[in-house]
Amino acid sequence: MQIVCLDLEGVLVPEIWIEFSQRTQIPELSKTTRDEPNYDKLMRERTEILNRHRLGLSDIQNVIGGMCPIPGAREFLNELRKRMQVVILSDTFYEFASPLMAQLDWPTLFCHHLEVNASGYIADYHLRIPDHKRASVAAFNTLNFNTIAVGDSYNDISMLSEAHTGIFFCPPANVIADFPQFRVKRSYNQLLNAIDEASAKN
Amino acid sequence: MQIVCLDLEGVLVPEIWIEFSQRTQIPELSKTTRDEPNYDKLMRERTEILNRHRLGLSDIQNVIGGMCPIPGAREFLNELRKRMQVVILSDTFYEFASPLMAQLDWPTLFCHHLEVNASGYIADYHLRIPDHKRASVAAFNTLNFNTIAVGDSYNDISMLSEAHTGIFFCPPANVIADFPQFRVKRSYNQLLNAIDEASAKN
């Protein structure tokens, strides 16, 4: 009995902050943990920038609603959901992801939560638990699933290591160089085959 | 951050074995754990009856594919999935449930697995883990979700007790009498309201 844990950004949808920064033409918002490794500082900066530009949650959701999943992602996901159980494990926030989840036919998503104040602006962010991707895969292992995790970057390494099978999807070259132990797939067809293979082994 | 754990049979779809027994006109197959409390004995009997009637998995799936979710279940589930995360926790088997999951737009389902032999007949059954409904809710609690569980019968009591909120949906009178601590809802509208309420408290 299989469960596939998929990263969201870079695997099924574009990097949300980067695309958001382009669509709103606010270059400061394209900063990621690569530029500012202190996540709390990064999130407080992002919140301050959004509020300064008078972007409330509904404005943000309108922008994100204009984004699309990566071409082929919806078809890949729908095919996969017919074959086995799928949970998306992401470090984004439910409030950001929901316009994209609607376009992906509402798969199950484990991520984090934004607090919005009475005026509709982002007041704070709440991480559900630290390293929730790894913790979720560990929980599925305990429930006696064969776990298959798919990600593209450093924040996926702990879940890829925890899973019975870890697979990279279109990762940057530096990520491959640092973690050569994970197989690399570069198209949804290749990925589906690799998942089927990992599933058949069990 | 909420996760709703829904029982399947009696909550979203009819009791599969009972409806299967009616559709195939094999009354022996309507026996449940109420008639035979030894689950292993019951499953071995069911397998023997199916094989005796030369019903392989594809025949069984054809019959189940003719069944329908309870009227309103699909709409209820789709509305719920827009609002929060949903996982179905059931004591059925993936092989039985999949024709019904297709009609419910492939929600995430945790259940058990049937082994099929080379001729397409059921050879054995595999329970993923004992009391998996309770264990799954406990795992979601560990992952810091607010858990809301919905069921209709005795095999749901452990998950209803483990969850932050447990709700009965259309349970038989004896179940209500034995477990008066859980609130009872009798329509999808009432259930959606009760889930929203449990979600708002957190």
- For residues A79 and A33, state if they share a domain: no
Return the CATH number at A36.
3.90.1470.10
- For residues A77 and A143, state if they share a domain: yes
Report pLDDT digits (tens) over A104-155. Answer: 999 999 999 999 999 999 999 999 999 999 999 999 999 999 999 999 999 9
A30 close contact with B: CB closer than 8 A: no
Contact criterion met (CB < 8 Å) for A82 and B94 = no
- For residues A104 and A174, state if they share a domain: yes
Could you tell me how far CA A96 lies from the centroid of its own chain?
Answer: 11
Q: Which domain holds residue B8?
A: 2-13+70-112+124-200
Give the CB-side neighbour count of residue A75, counting CA atoms within 13 A: 6
Which residues of A belong to the active site? 7, 9
Contact criterion met (CB < 8 Å) for A106 and B142 = no
Contact criterion met (CB < 8 Å) for A86 and B109 = no
Strand order in the sheet with A85-93: A122-126, A108-116, A85-93, A2-6, A146-151, A165-169, A183-185
Give the number of domains in chain B: 2
Enter the DSSP assignment of A9: B
pLDDT of residue B32: 81
A144 close contact with B: CB closer than 8 A: yes
Most A CBs within 10 Å: which of B108, B126, B146, as the mutation test of the A interface? B108
Instruction: Find residues 48-77 of chain B whose CB sits inside 8 Å of chain A.
Output: none
pLDDT-based confidence at A201, cuts 50/70/90?
confident
| Closest residue in A to B135 (Cα–Cα) | A143
pLDDT of residue A5: 98
What is d(CA B94, CA B132) in angstroms, rounded to the nearest whole number? 14
- For residues A148 and A100, state if they share a domain: yes
Report pLDDT digits (tens) over A6-49. Answer: 999 999 999 999 999 999 999 999 988 778 888 899 999 999 99
B99 close contact with A: CB closer than 8 A: no
Domain annotation covers residue B49: yes
Tell me which of B47, B65, B83 is where a domain ends.
B65
Check: pTM over 0.90? Answer yes or no: yes
Domain annotation covers residue A86: yes
Most B CBs within 10 Å: which of A108, A113, A131, as the mutation test of the B interface? A108
| Closest residue in A to B77 (Cα–Cα) | A106
- For residues A60 and A138, state if they share a domain: no
pLDDT of residue B33: 76
pLDDT of residue A15: 92
Domain annotation covers residue A118: no
Domain annotation covers residue B85: yes
Name chain B contacts of A98, Cβ cutoff 8 Å. Answer: 82
- For residues B80 and B42, state if they share a domain: no
- For residues A164 and A176, state if they share a domain: yes
CB-closest option in B82, B105, B128 to A1: B128
Active site residue: B9, B152, B156, B162, which one? B9
Question: Would you call A42 exposed, middle or buried from its count of C-beta atoms within 10 A (0-12, 13-18, 19+)?
Answer: middle
Return the CATH number at A155.
3.40.50.1000
Show pLDDT as tens, one digit a residue, over chain B (202 residues): 999 999 999 999 999 999 999 999 999 999 887 788 888 999 999 999 999 999 999 999 999 999 999 999 999 999 999 999 999 999 999 999 999 999 999 999 999 999 999 999 999 999 999 999 999 999 999 999 999 999 999 999 999 999 999 999 999 999 999 999 999 999 999 999 999 999 988 6
Domain annotation covers residue B119: no
pLDDT of residue B36: 83
Domain annotation covers residue A117: no
A125 close contact with B: CB closer than 8 A: no
Domain annotation covers residue A104: yes
pLDDT of residue B106: 97
- For residues B57 and B85, state if they share a domain: no
- For residues B150 and B194, state if they share a domain: yes
**Structure token digits, residue B189:** 């509208």
- For residues B26 and B108, state if they share a domain: no
The alpha-helical segments, DSSP class H, found in chain A are 16-24, 39-52, 57-65, 73-83, 94-103, 132-142, 157-162, 173-178, 188-200
A190 close contact with B: CB closer than 8 A: no
- For residues A29 and A58, state if they share a domain: yes
- For residues B151 and B181, state if they share a domain: yes
B106 close contact with A: CB closer than 8 A: yes
Domain annotation covers residue A119: no
CB-closest option in B105, B113, B140 to A1: B113
SS3 of chain B: the string is: CEEEEECCECCCECCHHHHHHHHHCCHHHHCCCCCCCCHHHHHHHHHHHHHHCCCCHHHHHHHHHCCCCCCCHHHHHHHHHHHCEEEEEEEEEHHHHHHHHHHCCCCEEEEEEEEECCCCCEEEEECCCCCHHHHHHHHHHHCCCEEEEEECCHHHHHHHHHCCEEEEECCCHHHHHHCCCCEEECCHHHHHHHHHHHHHCC
